[in-house]
């Protein structure tokens, strides 16, 4: 493996990025030479934050992790992997139900192109955090500190206030 850059991609919608996501990115950055955080562009779904803002929020959150690249992608993840020569997808798993869904996706990705998927169990202290729950809590005026980076919490409150 000498001379080979070990790359991994962490795909997702990250609407918004949470401390659970950041834990996965940080741990991946210690294990791989390059971590690509790929923010899914799904024209059929309208997120709370536009793609460009999600990317900005993630970039701010991973500042200091020099081997992390954040960008948008559309279409099939395996095509993204092929285009960027990424042989491994890294998925954080919060609960057992995540594994059932992700295992099926992993099998399909391997079948289509040989891309392997690694599962990284979420830190138990963060396993209760999901982007969906963070948005619900914030929309009812709840405190999301400790669930998302401070700059994400501030932007979330502002976005919900303006909408």
Residue 111 belongs to a domain with what CATH number? 3.40.50.620
Which alpha helices (H) appear in the chain, and where do they start and end?
19-31, 51-61, 77-84, 96-113, 131-139, 150-162
Position 155 in a domain: no
Told to judge if 45 belongs to the known catalytic residues of this protein, a careful annotator would answer yes
Position 90 in a domain: yes
Q: How confident is the model at residue 1 (pLDDT cuts 50, 70, 90)?
A: very low
Position 143 in a domain: no
CA–CA dist 63, 25 (Å, integer)? 11
Q: Of 59, 82, 84, 94, which one is the catalytic site residue? A: 94
Q: Of 7, 36, 54, 131, which one is the catalytic site residue? A: 131
Q: Is 30 annotated as a binding residue?
A: no
CA–CA dist 70, 58 (Å, integer)? 7
Position 58 in a domain: yes
Q: Is 13 annotated as a binding residue?
A: yes
Cβ atoms within 10 Å, residue 26 = 15
Q: Is 132 annotated as a binding residue?
A: yes
pLDDT digits (tens, 9 = 90+) for 35-91: 999 999 988 888 999 999 999 999 999 999 999 999 999 999 999 999 999 999 999
Q: Of 2, 30, 45, 46, which one is the catalytic site residue? A: 45
Cβ atoms within 10 Å, residue 67 = 16
**Contact between 68 and 25 (Cβ < 8 Å):** yes
How many structural domains are present in the chain? 1
Told to judge if 131 belongs to the known catalytic residues of this protein, a careful annotator would answer yes
CA–CA dist 64, 59 (Å, integer)? 10
pLDDT digits (tens, 9 = 90+) for 68-79: 999 999 999 999
Full domain range(s) for residue 59: 7-127
Position 119 in a domain: yes
Q: What's the pTM value of the predicted model, to 2 decimals? A: 0.93
Q: Is 77 annotated as a binding residue?
A: yes
Q: Which has more confidence, 95 or 54?
A: 54
**Contact between 89 and 9 (Cβ < 8 Å):** yes
Q: How confident is the model at residue 3 (pLDDT cuts 50, 70, 90)?
A: low
Position 158 in a domain: no
Nearest to 158 by CA among 56, 58, 48: 48
Told to judge if 151 belongs to the known catalytic residues of this protein, a careful annotator would answer no
Position 63 in a domain: yes
């Amino acid at each position: 493996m000498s001379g080979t850059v070990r790359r991994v991609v962490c795909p997702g919608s990250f609407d918004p990025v949470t401390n659970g996501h950041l834990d996965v990115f940080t741990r991946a950055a210690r294990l791989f030479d390059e971590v690509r955080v790929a923010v899914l562009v799904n024209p059929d779904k309208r997120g709370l934050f536009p793609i460009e803002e999600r990317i900005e929020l993630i970039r701010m959150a991973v500042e200091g992790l020099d081997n992390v690249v954040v960008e948008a992608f559309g279409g099939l993840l395996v095509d993204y992997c092929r285009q960027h020569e990424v042989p491994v997808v890294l998925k954080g798993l919060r609960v057992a139900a995540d594994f059932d869904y992700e295992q099926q996706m992993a099998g399909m990705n391997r079948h289509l192109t040989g891309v392997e998927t690694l599962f990284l169990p979420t830190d138990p202290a963060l396993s209760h955090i999901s982007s969906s729950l963070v948005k619900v809590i914030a929309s009812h005026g709840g405190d999301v500190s400790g669930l998302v980076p401070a700059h994400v919490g501030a932007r979330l409150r502002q976005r919900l206030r303006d909408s």
